[in-house]
Structure 1
Amino acid sequence: MNKKTMTADDMAIQREAQAWVVRLASHAVTEDDAHAFRQWCAQNRAHATAFSQARSVWSAMRPAAMQLKQHEAIRQDAAAGMRKGRRAFLGGAVAASVAYLAFRPPMELWPSLGEVAAGFAADYQTATGEQRSVAMSDGLLVQMNTQTRINVQANVNNETGLELLSGEAEIQTDFHKENRVTVVAGGGVVSALRARFNIRYTGNNVCVTCVQGRVQVGQAIHRVTLDAGQQLSYRADDFGVPQAVNTSNVTAWRKRMLVFNQVALSEVVAEVNRYRPGKLILRSEELGRSKVQASFSIDRLDDVIALIRDAYGADVTQLPGGIVLLRKATA
Structure 2
Amino acid sequence: MNSTNSDDRDARIRREASAWLARLNSGDCSTDDRAGFEAWLAMDTRHADAFRRAERLWRELAGLGELARPQLKQAQAVYRRARRKRRWPMAGLAAAALLAGVLIVNPPIWQWLTAERFTTGKGERETVTLSDGSSIELNTDTAIRVNYSARARRVWLERGEAWFSVAHNNLTRFEVRVGEGWIEDIGTQFNVRRDPANVDVAVQEGEVAVKVATNPEVLHLTAGQQTNFDRQGHAAPVRAGDLAAIAAWRGGVLVLKNLTLADVARELERYHAVSIEIADADLRQLSVSGRFPTDNLPLALNTIATALPVRIAHLDGNRIGILARR
Structure 1 residue identity aligned to 2:209 = Q
Residue 175 of structure 1 and its aligned partner are, at CA, apart by 4.2
Residue 122 of structure 1 and its aligned partner are, at CA, apart by 7.6
Residue 267 of structure 1 and its aligned partner are, at CA, apart by 1.2
Query: Among residues 264, 269, 276, which one is paired with 1:268 in the alignment?
Result: 264
**Partner residue of 1:302?**
298
Contact 1:214 1:226 in 2 (8 A): yes
Distance, in Å, in 1 between the alignment partners of 2:264 and 2:147 is 34
Instruction: Look up the SS of the partner of 1:153 in the other structure.
Output: strand
Matches within 5 A, 1:50-89: none
Q: 1:178 to 1:285 in 2, by over 3 A?
A: farther
Question: Which consecutive residues of structure 2, in runs of 5 or more, have no partner in the other structure?
Answer: 1-114
Contact 2:274 2:319 in 1 (8 A): yes
Distance, in Å, in 2 between the alignment partners of 1:246 and 1:308 is 23
- 2:324 corresponds to 1:328: yes
Contact 2:116 2:147 in 1 (8 A): no
Structure 2 residue identity aligned to 1:245 = G
Contact 1:151 1:164 in 2 (8 A): yes
Deviations, residues 194-249 of structure 1 (Å, cap 9, x unaligned): 11100000112100001110011000223100000000000133211111011010
Contact 2:123 2:272 in 1 (8 A): yes
Q: 1:275 to 1:125 in 2, by over 3 A?
A: same
Query: Among residues 103, 115, 130, which one is paired with 1:136 in the alignment?
Result: 130
Matches within 5 A, 1:104-115: none
Q: TM-score normalised to the size of structure 1?
A: 0.60
Distance, in Å, in 2 between the alignment partners of 1:212 and 1:179 is 19
**Partner residue of 1:208?**
201
Structure ranking higher on relative contact order (CA contacts 8 Å, 6+ apart): 1
Distance, in Å, in 1 between the alignment partners of 2:206 and 2:181 is 20
- 2:122 corresponds to 1:168: no
**Partner residue of 1:42?**
none
Structure 2 residue identity aligned to 1:134 = V
Instruction: Look up the SS of the partner of 2:295 in the other structure.
Output: helix
When the two chains are superposed, the root-mean-square deviation of aligned CA atoms in Å is 1.9
Residue 253 of structure 1 and its aligned partner are, at CA, apart by 0.3
Contact 2:185 2:208 in 1 (8 A): yes
Residue 311 of structure 1 and its aligned partner are, at CA, apart by 2.3
Distance, in Å, in 2 between the alignment partners of 1:256 and 1:194 is 25
Larger radius of gyration: 2
Matches within 5 A, 1:136-285: 136-157=130-151, 159-175=152-168, 179-220=172-213, 221-237=216-232, 238-285=234-281
Identity of aligned residues (%): 27
Distance, in Å, in 1 between the alignment partners of 2:246 and 2:140 is 14
Count of residue pairs the alignment pairs up: 209
Question: Which consecutive residues of structure 1, in runs of 5 or more, have no partner in the other structure?
Answer: 1-120
Distance, in Å, in 2 between the alignment partners of 1:153 and 1:126 is 18
Q: 1:313 to 1:135 in 2, by over 3 A?
A: same
Instruction: Look up the SS of the partner of 1:283 in the other structure.
Output: coil
Distance, in Å, in 2 between the alignment partners of 1:251 and 1:130 is 15
Contact 1:186 1:236 in 2 (8 A): yes
Contact 1:315 1:329 in 2 (8 A): yes
Residue 277 of structure 1 and its aligned partner are, at CA, apart by 2.3
Contact 2:150 2:172 in 1 (8 A): no
Q: 1:136 to 1:321 in 2, by over 3 A?
A: farther
Structure 2 residue identity aligned to 1:198 = N
Q: Which runs of 4+ in 1 moved over 6 A?
A: none
Residue 307 of structure 1 and its aligned partner are, at CA, apart by 2.6
Instruction: Look up the SS of the partner of 2:149 in the other structure.
Output: coil
Q: TM-score normalised to the size of structure 2?
A: 0.61
Distance, in Å, in 1 between the alignment partners of 2:280 and 2:305 is 13
Instruction: Look up the SS of the partner of 1:133 in the other structure.
Output: strand
Structure 1 residue identity aligned to 2:120 = T
